[in-house]
Amino acid sequence: MNANVRPTPLILRGRTFDAGRPAVMAVINRTPDSFYAPARQFAEASVEKSVRLALGDGADIIDIGGVKAGYGEVVSTREELRRVVGAVEWIRGEFPDVIISVDTWRAEVARQVAGAGADVINDTWGGYEPRIRTIAAEHGLGLVCSHAGGLAPRTDPHRVSYGQTTTGVLDDVLKSLGRAARDAADAGVPRTRILLDPTLDFGKNTRHGLTLLRHASRLTELGYPVLMALSRKDFVGETLGLDDPRERLEGTLAATAVAAWQGASVFRTHDVKATRRVVDMVASIRGDRPPDVSIRGLA
């Protein structure tokens, strides 16, 4: 693991996130069927309460999602818009300076949330609708470039393979995300607003996820801000033998620390306060963030 890799700064809404100030992205799921039950904020009142709590706990970015990632009820574009546009409008009106991300693969949803005040499109399905890049560029938005192994949205991996070598998945992710980032830049998205997400669990098994975490500095070396969405995922559960996502906090935080040490600088999480403390502590150990207080031994 390489702690000497310097993260490329992410710049959004006049704020800079880098090695000394990693960004914490709070998950707000406007879905009734999220895999992690405490993250189901389907009702408007629940969304508002969760956003206030996340910001109070130290979130830098609010990530709104209107469709469960895996199998579940069919959610039309119209229904997804109903779930997310109003939430974006409310957050922008209530918290004018907060950074808002929307988790969607649909270009039409991206276009409408851009008009509602979003700052980032979190395209978790690897450019399934390529027009999303142009929309992000036209509206001055950040764009998350993800690796889903070529799977269609809401598809779970089945016997997925990246060749016979132990680092085959890493090679594929580096190649795919490098190309996606260049495509986004060619479309007009500034380099400091292009985020790379290896997207663990999407198109990958648990061993793939562990390999990518082990070599996270290779992603940082591509020269774009790296986002890690690790929170309570199946790779954590399978590694530790924990079926219940409610039991996966410690494993998630261990993975977060490893990724932060290697230069990832944006962390999507259900647990804002704990994640904030972990990434700040890692930044201080790396020497990129001074302690809040340093009086021990001086009195």
Catalytic residues: 233, 268
By the 8 A CB rule, do 157 and 203 touch? yes
Characterize 122-138 residue by residue with b for buried, 16 or more Cβ atoms within 10 angstroms of its Cβ, and e for exposed: bbbbbbbbeebbbbbbe
Task: Name the amino acid, one letter, at 142.
Answer: G
Characterize 86-121 residue by residue with b for buried, 16 or more Cβ atoms within 10 angstroms of its Cβ, and e for exposed: ebbbbbbeeeeebbbbbbbbbbbbbbbbbebbbbbb
Q: Which residues pair with 259 in a beta bridge?
A: none
By the 8 A CB rule, do 229 and 197 touch? yes
